A and B are shown apart, each in its own frame.
Chain A
Amino acid sequence: SSELTQDPAVSVALGQTVRITCQGDSLTTYYASWFQQKPGQAPILVIYNTNNRPSGIPDRFSGSSSGNTASLTIAGAQAEDEADYYCTSRDSRRNHLRVLFGGGTKLTVL
């Protein structure tokens, strides 16, 4: 079981705004990043360190965080945004650094 919790599936109407959330204790200490993965492809980074977009990622993607919850917001969702989205953060346990992934959220654009 994942220690970062995501809703398994979310849907959004074309052009509308959608928020995908990720909850976990590690998020009170470490930044969240978000990946987009389309079928048969490797994940790509869309948000890092809570709210930073890599170059080439559309500005409709944004990130935020409050307490133990990180969020990915897509403002004006497009058909090409339909994908699985995974959050990730670092975590330390008994001074052992590890990486956590959420279980993923399947985004459907209607």
Chain B
Amino acid sequence: EVQLVESGGGLIQPGGSLRLSCAASGFNFSNSWMHWVRQVPGKGLVWVSRVRSDGIITSYADSVQGRFTISRDNAENTLYLEMNSLRAEDSAVYYCVRDGYTTSPGYYYYYMDVWGKGTTVTVSS
């Protein structure tokens, strides 16, 4: 069974740091691009970051660029999100998401397919 399990959320003071983890199982993690997506309860989904299967290429939403770092350990089948200089507006449920893909000659078409259940981050004094 394909599974993603997030951990590491909690209550943290503004300006603090937190590292989220996502344990992957049931699929070839080292071949998969991965994302972090967040959601304030009662609000919409917001993309946070994406990392290539080898961990070398990353991209970030403007709102977290320079403060958050996405990384992965393919030997441990684990995705990470290091969050620094946390702000109240970073409070949300953070989801780990796999990128699936389809192919046609010369092209890959990526789409988010499997989501974890999320871990809650609360930034408050």
Q: For the complex, is B95 an interface residue (Cβ under 8 Å from A)?
A: yes
A35 interfacial by beta-carbon distance below 8 Å: yes
In whole angstroms, what is the CA distance A44 to B110 when docked? 16
Smallest CB separation, B121 vs chain A (Å): 16
CA gap between A52 and B100 in the complex, in Å: 13
**B11 interface residue (CB < 8 Å to A):** no
Known A42-B116, A96-B59: A31·B109 in contact at CB below 8 Å: yes
Q: Is the CB of A100 within 8 A of B47?
A: yes
Q: Chain B nearest CB: distance from A76 CB in Å? A: 25
B95 — which chain A residues lie within 8 A by C-beta?
A: 42-43
**Do B45 and A43 touch across chains, with their CB atoms under 8 A apart?**
yes
Chain B residue with Cβ nearest A34:
B111
Is B44 on the interface with A (CB-CB < 8 A)? yes
Q: What residue in chain B is nearest A90 (Cβ atoms)?
A: B110
Which 6 A/B pairs are nearest by Cβ-Cβ distance?
A: A99-B47, A48-B111, A42-B115, A101-B45, A33-B111, A104-B44
Dominant secondary structure of chain B at its interface with chain A: strand
Q: Check if B46 sits within 8 Å of A48, measured CB to CB.
A: no
Is B72 part of the binding interface, using a Cβ–Cβ cutoff of 8 Å? no
Specify which chain B residues have a CB less than 8 angstroms from the CB of A31 in the assembled complex: 109, 111
Q: Is the CB of B102 within 8 A of A49?
A: yes
Which residue of the partner chain, among B44, B100, B117, contacts A86 with CB atoms under 8 Å? Answer: B44
Given contacts A31-B111, A86-B45, A88-B47, 10 further A-B contacts (CB under 8 A): A33-B111, A35-B45, A37-B45, A42-B95, A48-B102, A49-B111, A88-B112, A97-B59, A99-B112, A101-B47
A18-57: CB near B (< 8 Å → 1, else 0) gives 0000000000000101010100001111001100101000
| Complex: A28 Cα to B110 Cα, angstroms | 16
